[in-house]
Chains A and B, each alone.
Chain A
Amino acid sequence: MTYAMKSVESGEAEARRAPVLAPALAAIARGAKATLMWLAAKALPPLVTVGLILLVWQILCAKPGATLPPPSQIWKDSYDLIAQPFFNFGTQDIGLGWRVLVSLETVGIGFGLATVAGILLGALVGQSEWAMRGLDPVFQVLRTVPPLAWLPIALAAFRDSRPSAIFVIFITSIWPILINTAVGIRNIPQDYRNVAAVLRLNPIEFFAKIMLPSAAPYIFTGLRIGIGLAWLAIVAAEMLTGGVGIGFFIWDAWNSSRLSDIIVALAYIGLVGFALDRLVSGIGALVARGAQAN
């Protein structure tokens, strides 16, 4: 109201614009308020939970004789690691961001290979009755072998730590991808197969145009489980193989009794794992948008 009255004095153009501007501003304000409300509803509960956990931790570990450092101690000891993820003072004195990237690169290669091999083998197993009968028992046995049990074999075969770590990632993450792809392909509706038959799609066209999109939701379920397992395995593998990854950092910190650094590294690992999971499921939701039957 005051706004409109003022504009009468300051000119007609202003007067004409004011009634248009006012509701627009109000709408923006409403929108901003809604966004804030949404943010509060989404972000507040986890923040409160984290705060409470830190508080309890602080109380428990601040007592004399506690074996683990309280959060305040970690903040003091490892401030540089928390505040600067990307410093670089030489080969083994680098920020945790760099270490995470090194680990991510290994995971990326291993997981990428597992994705390609898993989808192709899964397509074969899902499509062919004989391939399934022959390969399924082998897969079912191999997939129960723990990731690190593969490491000695890999080291013996590759005689180098990096390809061995990649192999461990590969062999860990391929099973869920393969098995889920096979299930997805076995579940392709007969209707789609009939369409492909009438159109005389060749096997490659069938794979690209019917199989992949139709099985996409299943494939992405497999990829999501796979990336989680890969991230679990890389830390363990790096502890044993060395290098500059985040896993080796933890081992190194343990050997030099830097408990605070280990806890910071754990937080990094957890956050990156969470981000990877969200990334894969986000891509999955985007790709599989149209694939559900209707």
Chain B
Amino acid sequence: MSPTKRPYLKLDRIGKTFERRGVRSEVLRDIDLAIDKGEFVSIIGHSGCGKSTMLNLVAGLTQATTGGVLLEDREVNAPGPERAVVFQNHSLLPWLSVYDNVRLAVDKVFAGAKSRAERHAWTLHNLELVQMTHAKDKRPSEISGGMKQRVGIARALAMEPKVLLLDEPFGALDALTRAHLQDSLMEIHRTLGNTVIMITHDVDEAVLLSDRIVMMTNGPAATIGEVLDVKLPRPRRRLELVSDATYVAAREAVLKFLYERHAYVEAA
């Protein structure tokens, strides 16, 4: 064994093949990726390239056919709160209030570790992080899409995850709300230093938020085509970045990858 630093999270030669009624379809092949603690990694690619499958593998919601996921050198093969997921469609429980949605997670994860009062305070603290304290007693159906996603983020953060997994978290939001939430997420990442993996199909979002952008080739049997380091200092401000040479270059690199070398072939 080499004495060099071991990766915090490692995707080790992952392959995933789905089998339905005897028809095998290979979705992912030879995915190798190492992520450091505190790193913000985006995964970008066209629809159907297996991005979500990759995230589900790290979350433990799906099992790899070959290879495996290692978190702090331990294999991950079941879901758990140390890999909290912010789902694409928020997945808040509609019969619980905003507070109770977060509290459910807090109660479950810190059942033995925190007292009742501490769990209450921790729930409120996380709602405050995403600026949702004002709507804590509302039900998910009474708040906007952006607010729901904020609560989803609060619920994930409240689990104090080792890795935060975001599955196209802002995909269903309008551009203004999305920008607002991206800023919030950058701020949270700066304060808490979480390790984050985010699935996205938005080039600007990927460049703005990430330390590294993992670009996927098209399926079937998709794999990592290229990994781009985004060497922009933090904190990043979207207005200043518009004309920043590094930003423009990174953006161009991703666009070229997606639309020149691996253009989406319509599966008509």
Measured CB to CB, the residues of A under 8 A from B are 191-192, 194-195, 197-201, 205, 209-210, 213-214, 216, 289-294
Tell whether B109 is near chain A: CB-to-CB under 8 Å: yes
Interface pair B105/A199, CB less than 8 Å apart: yes
Instruction: Determine which residue in A197, A198, A291, A293 has the highest number of CB atoms from chain B within 10 A of its CB, and name it.
Output: A198
Known: A191-B89, A209-B104, A290-B139. A200 touches B94 (CB 8 A): no
Chain B residue, CB-CB nearest to A196? B79
Interface pair A293/B94, CB less than 8 Å apart: yes
Q: Which of A191, A195, A197, A290 is in CB contact (< 8 Å) with B95?
A: A290
Chain A residue, CB-CB nearest to B101? A195
Interface pair B79/A197, CB less than 8 Å apart: yes
Measured CB to CB, the residues of B under 8 A from A are 59-61, 78-81, 83-85, 87, 89, 91, 93-96, 104-105, 108-109, 139-141, 159
B216 CB, nearest partner CB in chain A, Å? 22
For the complex, give the distance between the alpha carbons of A23 and B123 in Å: 47
Please, which residues of chain B bring their CB within 8 A of the CB of A292? 94, 141
Please, which residues of chain A bring their CB within 8 A of the CB of B109? 199
A211 CB, nearest partner CB in chain B, Å? 12
A–B pairs, 25, beta carbons within 8 Å? A191-B89, A191-B91, A192-B93, A195-B87, A195-B93, A197-B61, A198-B83, A198-B84, A198-B159, A199-B159, A200-B80, A200-B81, A209-B93, A210-B93, A213-B93, A213-B95, A290-B94, A290-B95, A290-B96, A290-B139, A290-B141, A291-B95, A292-B141, A294-B94, A294-B140
Interface pair B139/A199, CB less than 8 Å apart: no
Please, which residues of chain A bring their CB within 8 A of the CB of B91? 191-192, 194-195
Apart from A197-B78, A289-B95: 16 A-B pairs, beta carbons within 8 A: A191-B91, A192-B91, A194-B87, A195-B93, A198-B61, A198-B83, A198-B85, A198-B159, A205-B108, A209-B104, A210-B93, A213-B93, A290-B95, A292-B94, A293-B94, A294-B140
For the complex, give the distance between the alpha carbons of A202 and B159 in Å: 17
Chain B residue, CB-CB nearest to A293? B94
For the complex, give the distance between the alpha carbons of A267 and B141 in Å: 43
Please, which residues of chain B bring their CB within 8 A of the CB of A192? 91, 93
Chain B residue, CB-CB nearest to A197? B79
For the complex, give the distance between the alpha carbons of A205 and B109 in Å: 13
For the complex, give the distance between the alpha carbons of A216 and B95 in Å: 10
Instruction: Determine which residue in A205, A213, A290 has the highest number of CB atoms from chain B within 10 A of its CB, and name it.
Output: A290
Interface pair A198/B141, CB less than 8 Å apart: no
Known: A290-B139, A290-B141, A294-B140. A198 touches B93 (CB 8 A): no
Chain B residue, CB-CB nearest to A287? B95
Please, which residues of chain A bring their CB within 8 A of the CB of B61? 194, 197-198
Question: Considering the complex of A and B, which 5 residue pairs feature the smallest CB-CB distances, nearest first?
Answer: A290-B95, A191-B91, A294-B141, A197-B79, A213-B95
For the complex, give the distance between the alpha carbons of A18 and B107 in Å: 57
Please, which residues of chain B bring their CB within 8 A of the CB of A293? 94
For the complex, give the distance between the alpha carbons of A195 and B100 in Å: 14
Q: Which of B80, B94, B95 is in CB contact (< 8 Å) with A198?
A: B80
For the complex, give the distance between the alpha carbons of A79 and B135 in Å: 59
Interface pair A199/B81, CB less than 8 Å apart: yes
Interface pair B79/A198, CB less than 8 Å apart: yes
Please, which residues of chain A bring their CB within 8 A of the CB of B79? 194, 197-198, 200
For the complex, give the distance between the alpha carbons of A194 and B86 in Å: 11
Please, which residues of chain A bring their CB within 8 A of the CB of B108? 199-201, 205
Interface pair B104/A199, CB less than 8 Å apart: yes
Chain A residue, CB-CB nearest to B89? A191
Q: Which of A191, A210, A213, A291 is in CB contact (< 8 Å) with B87?
A: A191
Please, which residues of chain B bring their CB within 8 A of the CB of A194? 61, 79, 85, 87, 91
For the complex, give the distance between the alpha carbons of A91 and B81 in Å: 64
Chain B residue, CB-CB nearest to A210? B93
For the complex, give the distance between the alpha carbons of A291 and B84 in Å: 24
Please, which residues of chain B bring their CB within 8 A of the CB of A201? 108
For the complex, give the distance between the alpha carbons of A110 and B77 in Å: 46
